[in-house]
Structure 1
């Protein structure tokens, strides 16, 4: 005889939590909240709980008594399941749906049209200096006079009478006058700089002589020891198996090292 098997089936649960319990706290009026903090649409009536700052459904939105569903104060599956003190709190819907929707739309339009009050100033473009201003530090009195005369020959304003000058002509005339006035001082300063440079160079040479004298003896001993070591290494390479050409090269090298050693030993 076969035993019948019963498959477990899921029990149909209610879509919303319904309980007759009502919190003893004072009712929460929707007029005390901002339009974006609650939703009066019948399909998703909800608001932000002032205690836990999370969106909580409102039960009985189309009935007489409205209240928040029981909910936890933390994040689901992350924080401890602690019941929020705002659970089952009565909600006083004292704002009509049409008024709430109009306020929400007006707030969205104002936010979309809002523009930043920060002023971004464009950087000022620096005025490019004139050619005469660029060449001024490089010219002397004679060069400034030649440049001024060349301008007068080609300028239609400065050429006929010579009394009136254009902008460039006035700058060149001012440059020439400035160079004539400052030429003696410039030449004197240039002479002083040249003399100081010459004195500095002579001082360096005078300083090098005692420095070289203090190290000349040690350098001479090192050179003599180096030539002496090379001469000993060369003598060790002497062998009767050398060919006449190799023997000639050997003698030439020995002669040069001996001559160098004699020069250093004087």
Structure 2
């Protein structure tokens, strides 16, 4: 009877790790980890290594669970030299039930989704742009003959047709419409330049006349306002002078004499003196009636004060 041969059958590999090496580092407790830092799916146990922060398989789940020896960088990263992680063969205590871990992971996922939906979107600041003026507010820049002439010279230096180098198939020189248009514009502006200059001078003259009329009207208004109360001021000055020197009470009202900050600018003799032309006034009331003003805290007569802008003039 012939002997029969049987095919060899491989033995089942044990789930426990074959090495007895165990890291001296303290064991990792699964209950102290977050639900998203460990995976307790049966047959696919993984955990995030606390040293290299890479997902590392757990071996020996049925015996002594330890971390599989691994490198500090992922295995797909081939740019750096691999180094053995110090947490290789590190023990891990699986004291968390699978059902509890799944419930916590599901709850954490739902809470994260809810928080993400409640979180407002980032508000981006709008760029600060100036408002575009209306068509009626646009002011075209006036053309000058010198500007157009400069553009015409630059065109002549770059244009082949203006230099006579551009020809057609028959050898005829091609004209340049752009150069012709610029030349016509230069000649037109040169003819209109005297009229434009006269118009600019007329507007400048009218502007100066308006400024003089405005200053004169302001001075006349100031003088009329002071003239309306001048008689009361003079009566008060006369009554104050009639009171005996010993019967006066309180500080004197500076109707004729100057206040302390004005006395510094007044020369000896009790008169006001203009800092510009040297004109004088006998009293403060007469100076105000004549339109005197203070400019940089110095007295100026009405004629000299009108030479300065209105915002620099201060009444007494």
Task: Give the TM-score range, shorter chain.
Answer: 0.3 to 0.5
User: So what's the TM-score if we normalise by structure 2?
Assistant: 0.33
Which one has a larger percent helix, Structure 1 or Structure 2?
1
